[in-house]
Amino acid sequence: MKRLIIFIDRLLYLHQCNDGCSRFWSLRKWLGRSLFLGAFVLANCFAALGQHVLPTPLKTELLSGTYQFGEKLSVGYSGKEKEVAKYLTGRLKAYVIIKRTSNTSSGIQLQLTDLPQEFGKEGYQLKIDEKAIRLKANTEAGLFYGVQSLLQLLPAEVQAGKEYSLLGYQIPGVLITDAPKYAWRSFMLDSGRQYQTPEFIKRYLDHMAMLKMNVFHWHLTEGQGWRIEIKKYPKLTEIGSKVAEGKEQQGFYTQKEIKEIVEYARKLHITVVPEIDVPGHSEAALTAYPELSCFGEAPKTVMGFSDVLYCGGREETYTFLKNVLDEVCELFPSPYIHLGGDEAPKGKWNKCPDCQGKIEEEGLKNSHELQMYFSSRLANYMKTKNKKVIFWGDVIYQDDFKLPDNVIVHWWNWRGHKDLALKNAIRNGHQVIANTNYYSYLNFPVSPWSNYFADRTFDMRTVYENNPSDIKEPDSLVLGMGCALWRDWYVYEHMVDRRVFPRIFALAEQMWSRGERMPFDAFYRIVKEKYPVLREKGIDIGPGMKDEIESDFSWE
């Protein structure tokens, strides 16, 4: 029996081989060589063991030998690898671990070293043979991603943080060489429309780490709620966090909670990039401080967006936003800050004497250029703090106004403008984050729900095969890829998992994996092998395809 398991494990790794060809083809070649031995049995064994690493590593090679866990495990590291070692041993709960502050020839060894340049800042090499599990990287981030891959080779219970002894557990010999496609791999959560608890957010940060995502884009302000405590302007949370009526629409994050979340993320090698969306999507802030709108009106709370913007003409707006950003920058060490800029209709600005006065004074052409002036002023202010500023693609649909060079464009509106923002950004030398609504908005369900009609749905195959953000040969200005979970139409916490899983695996694959893609059916089969792990983690997995939707299923 033991020999059979080792044999099957070996096949698993062959199946994973991705050395210039997809795993599917490797498997086919192997099957050819092995006279088509038991393909059906194999498929079932793969599913049962569920040991593939996702996102798919760059290269996986089979080695001779098998590592077997004993009664005790030594984890060797020197001072530099301490934090990763602590993370790893924390994940192997209830297993007897001896930590050694120098590397030994057995057990798990973590080593920061000089790997070739191709490994970059996040690559790693994981070598498993009968003697040891050796993990090497240039940086702690690389080691951390190697640990994520190693964890995926362990039983579901261990991956889920349950108490579980590894005594006798075997991993077949393997050499994994891996590095990501993109430096930016983000998940955006809309905490503006609906508030989520810090515990929920930490859980999602853990999921991101499993998927090797490294940027938590935190959308903190919306028409439906202002969620970040700003000490200088207490009404932002006293009033702004309660403007909507839904049960999960009350609440905000104190500065203490935010610091804890940023620190929690840091340990997972995730940068938290806050978004303060201006000048639109700001009705909650303007309900708290109506004097900052063009006509001093407290706006109606809207689920989408309205033309009640911060007044772009009065200096008070700029003073207020700079003061807010001073506190935001203190809370978030990220080198990036997101300042929105999407969906800001200019109806009020066109009529406002102050806005029109500013247009004249600054020699601008119209209200659109006033937004460019507004955005540029804030971006230049952020430059004084060494921050890059991200704006949604709306700021570059017309590109005759030169934006500051610290601006990054967040390409989103494929449905409305196809690749206009991508092209204009590149033409103007700005970096770009690809996060198109088709198909990286995970709030779009697989089948219609509430105000999400059929044209705002997509399935797992569509995102895997047809996501415009999944650029085959990206320009060097493409910084990376993102995905987003907006919370409009009352996507409450308990509905989120079903939206996100399993489709986020396809997005993570597109963000990380550099090799040639395997065909969808092979990929989806591997994703399904992860379901026992996801269930152990308490994730409520939704349907990936329409034909998987049972008659009694509900998105609610």
Task: Write out the residues near Zn ion by the rule CB under 5 A.
Answer: 294, 311, 313, 352, 354-355
State which residue, 13 or 305, has the beta carbon closest to ligand ACM. Answer: 305
State which residue, 445 or 515, has the beta carbon closest to ligand ACM. Answer: 445
Q: Cα dist. 491→28, 153, 201, 377 in Å?
A: 42, 34, 15, 35
Closest CA to 76 of 97, 91, 51: 97
The least CB distance from residue 21 to ligand ACM, in Å, is 37
Q: Which of 13, 204, 336, 412 binds ligand ACM (CB under 6 A)?
A: 412
Q: Residues binding ligand ACM: what is the number (CB under 6 A)?
A: 4
439 binds ligand ACM (CB under 6 A): no
Going residue by residue from 384 to 403, which x/- string records binding to ligand ACM, judged by CB under 6 A? Answer: --------x-----------
| 343 touches, from Zn ion, ligand ACM, none (C-beta below 5 to 8 Å by class) | ligand ACM
| Residue 192 · residue 251 · CB < 8 Å | no
| 336 touches, from ligand ACM, Zn ion, none (C-beta below 5 to 8 Å by class) | none
State which residue, 218 or 412, has the beta carbon closest to ligand ACM. Answer: 412
CA–chain centroid gap for 61, Å, is 28
| Residue 57 · residue 149 · CB < 8 Å | yes
- Contacting ligand ACM within 316-375 (CB under 6 A): 342-343
Give residues with Cβ within 8 angstroms of 516, minimum separation 6: 18, 20, 21, 22
| 355 touches, from ligand ACM, Zn ion, none (C-beta below 5 to 8 Å by class) | Zn ion
What burial letters (b/e) apply to 115-127, b meaning 16+ CB within 10 Å?
beeebbebbbbbb
Would you call 270 helix, strand, or coil by DSSP? Answer: coil
- For the question of residue 360 being annotated catalytic, the response is no
Q: Which two structure tokens, joined as six digits, stand for 7?
A: 């044999």
The least CB distance from residue 281 to ligand ACM, in Å, is 8
The least CB distance from residue 395 to ligand ACM, in Å, is 11
DSSP letter for 451, please: T
Task: Pick the catalytic residue from 157, 327, 343, 536.
Answer: 343
- Contacting ligand ACM within 218-277 (CB under 6 A): none
129 binds ligand ACM (CB under 6 A): no
Give residues with Cβ within 8 angstroms of 482, minimum separation 6: 184, 185, 186, 187, 188, 215, 217, 410, 433, 434, 435, 440, 469
**Interface ranges with ligand ACM (CB under 6 A):** 342-343, 392, 412
Which of the residues are catalytic? 343
